[in-house]
Amino acid sequence: MRTLQHHAQIVTDLSSLNSRITALANSFKELEVRNTADEALITLMLQQAAALVPAAEALLTIEYDPTPVEPVEPEAP
């Protein structure tokens, strides 16, 4: 299974994102007020996160159809 490494990295990245979001929530609650830059970045994060769902769903529709490999002609002497 050549895809296992990709799956593992995605799960690791999602876990890291979840931890960072939790840390941001704590910062907004305990350390400082959310500002307009924070809100713009959160909006961007939401847009990017929303794009991940259709991209992941599309993976379920891909059919295996490898591109044919053209034979390599030997070089002339």
What pLDDT is stored for residue 2 in this prediction?
92
Of residues 53 and 77, the one with the higher pLDDT is 53
What pLDDT is stored for residue 73 in this prediction?
80
Per residue in 16-68, pLDDT (tens digit) is 999 999 999 999 999 999 999 999 999 999 999 999 999 999 999 999 999 99
Give the whole-angstrom CA distance, residue 24 versus residue 39. Answer: 12
Give the whole-angstrom CA distance, residue 46 versus residue 53. Answer: 11
| pTM for the model | 0.76
DSSP for 48-61, please give it.
Answer: HHHHHHHHHHHHTT
Helix (H, G, I), strand (E, B) or coil at 14: helix
Read off the tokens for 46: 């939401």
Residue 70 has pLDDT above 90, yes or no: no
